[in-house]
Amino acid sequence: MIITYLGHSCFTIEVNNSVLLFDPFITPNELASSIDIKKLMPDYILISHGHQDHIADAVSIAKQSGATIISNWEIVNWLNNQGVEKSHPMNIGGHWFFDFGKVKCVNAVHSSSLPDGSYGGNPMGFLLETKEGNIYYAGDTALTLDMKLIGDYKKIDVAFLPIGSNFTMGIDNAVIASDFIHCDKIIGMHYDTFGYIKIDQDEAFGKFAAAGKELVLMQIGSSITI
Ligand code: NI
Ligand code: MN
């Protein structure tokens, strides 16, 4: 699979001949000004919760690409009302087999209102099982014992965890989370975008390394192959 970082918690993952886009927040993000969203043509857009910093560019990218939105029922309905045609509503605990693999929605401890104040349902994370590996995308979440269930349920090859603190778990709790999910390869997200979530990257690398984990902090616009 090829993972490309588009800033904040936004990534594309190319897997099994599909392009998945997670939590699009690009045009309002000054750090991601090098990214041209008009070139993004995902097959699927996965949205963890309704906050602006996860959904800002969802409508425009869905319309230009014809991508299918995968999110909770409330967010899917809200996007449908804005003209997004293709969508698949889900909720926590459920799974579905898409052409790229299996998606299971898992718990996230956070909140979820939409940019206009509409109810955004419950925040979620995603567990993806694919022929090219299993992925846990945590969304915005605190450390929670529920992560142990995810790690015991499936072997996770790579996990996307928030590390910026203030709105989500920070570095120390993300190290514990990576233990809970039995995963040694962590891609950090939800850090440095705003003042509240600025981190000391050296501290983050050191703490993950001390726990025997690899922390990857990607440059915006860069890709890695796993
Ligand atoms: Ni949030
Ligand atoms: Mn957020």
pLDDT band for position 163 (cuts 50, 70, 90): very high
What's the 167 CA to ligand 2 centre distance in angstroms? 7
Count of beta carbons in the 10 Å neighbourhood of residue 57? 23
Residue 86 near residue 62 (C-beta atoms within 8 A): yes
pLDDT band for position 190 (cuts 50, 70, 90): very high
Please indicate, yes or no, whether the overall pTM of this predicted structure exceeds 0.95.
yes
- Cα separation, 205 vs 217, whole angstroms: 9
Q: Which helix (H) or strand (E) holds 111?
A: none
Residue 56 near residue 62 (C-beta atoms within 8 A): no
Nearest listed ligand to the Cα of residue 114: 1
What's the 162 CA to ligand 2 centre distance in angstroms? 9
Average of pLDDT values for 70-93?
98
pLDDT, tens digit (0-9, with 9 covering 90-100), for 67-77:
999 999 999 99
What's the 125 CA to ligand 1 centre distance in angstroms? 12
pLDDT of residue 73: 98
pLDDT of residue 96: 98
pLDDT band for position 57 (cuts 50, 70, 90): very high
Q: What is the pLDDT of the chain when averaged over all its residues?
A: 98
- Cα separation, 14 vs 3, whole angstroms: 7
What's the 112 CA to ligand 1 centre distance in angstroms? 7
Q: Which helix (H) or strand (E) holds 225?
A: strand 223-225
pLDDT, tens digit (0-9, with 9 covering 90-100), for 118-128:
999 999 999 99
pLDDT band for position 89 (cuts 50, 70, 90): very high
Average of pLDDT values for 75-84?
98
What's the 11 CA to ligand 2 centre distance in angstroms? 14
What's the 123 CA to ligand 1 centre distance in angstroms? 8
Percent over 70 (pLDDT), the chain: 100
User: The tokens of 105 are what?
Assistant: 């929605």
What's the 53 CA to ligand 1 centre distance in angstroms? 7
Nearest listed ligand to the Cα of residue 112: 1
What's the 29 CA to ligand 2 centre distance in angstroms? 12
Nearest listed ligand to the Cα of residue 197: 2
Percent of the chain that is helix, strand, coil (3-state, to 5):
25, 30, 45
CA distances from 108 to 31, 47, 130, 168, 182 (A): 26, 12, 21, 10, 18
* Residue 11's CATH number: 3.60.15.10
pLDDT, tens digit (0-9, with 9 covering 90-100), for 27-43:
999 999 999 999 999 99
Count of beta carbons in the 10 Å neighbourhood of residue 95? 12
Q: What domain range includes position 10? A: 2-225
- Cα separation, 55 vs 70, whole angstroms: 12
Tell me the angle at which helices 171-180 and 146-153 cross, rounded to the nearest 10 degrees.
Answer: 40
Nearest listed ligand to the Cα of residue 29: 2
- Cα separation, 103 vs 90, whole angstroms: 10
Work out how many domains the chain is built from and give that number: 1
Phi, psi (degrees; rounded to nearest 5) at 14: -95, 115
Nearest listed ligand to the Cα of residue 25: 2
pLDDT of residue 176: 98
